[in-house]
Structure 1
């Protein structure tokens, strides 16, 4: 399977791949990389090839190989932009605006004034 790295963390030795099949995202955790001299992690926009397997209904990557560095930075930027637009829309959608109105007189107050 081919995919584009949409997120990675060198410190955590993890990455998330957007896949050519447009299915669920694939997660990669390089548990073998224990020392700082290990192979560098993939960066956002890198094109990678990997084997996919299911682990508790989560798609995970095995044997990833870098095909082309920074092959699709445009995709990561588009996803980031779309995500910020979605979050802004969600925040706006949760705000309820009420106009100030005088309190409604109670029934007993209405009877006293009648």
Structure 2
């Protein structure tokens, strides 16, 4: 199933992932079962995951990045900073 990384830590090799089935968030700890060959995937990365429930926690047992690293969160933040704020609309009679 597809997922989007919400939080990631490259040093500890951990991530929290939202999954397309809208179930509980999935947790990834370590490289076991990952097909990550380059940089550790960051927030906003699209990934394909396989999960299991272990002790009431949804854990990722297989993770494969989908496409290239897009770093969506930083890009969206930059675009928001660059955007001109909208003026409020006040209807007149």
The TM-score, its normalising length taken from structure 1, stands at 0.54
CA RMSD of aligned residues (A): 2.4
Q: CA deviation at 1:70?
A: 2.3
**CA deviations over 1:60-100 (Å, ceiling 9, x no partner):** 111200003227538x97xxxxxxxxxxxxxxxxxxxxxxx
Structure whose alpha-carbon radius of gyration is higher: 1
In the other structure, the counterpart of 1:41 is: 40
1:59 corresponds in structure 2 to 58
TM-score of the aligned structures, taking structure 2 as reference length: 0.65
Bigger RCO (CA 8 Å, 6+ sep): 2
Higher helix share: 1
- Give the CA deviation at 1:22: 1.0
**What does 1:93-112 correspond to in 2, within 5 Å?**
none
Structure number with higher strand proportion: 2
2:42–2:71: 8 Å Cα contact kept in structure 1?
no
**How many residues were matched structurally?**
71
Gap runs ≥5 in structure 2? 78-93
Structure 1: stretches of 5+ with no match in the other structure? 33-37, 78-114
Distance in 2, matches of 1:41 and 1:56, equals 26
Q: For residues 38-73 of structure 1, what are the alpha-carbon distances to aligned partners after superposition, in whole Å with 9 as ceiling and x for unaligned?
A: 753110000000111011010011120000322753
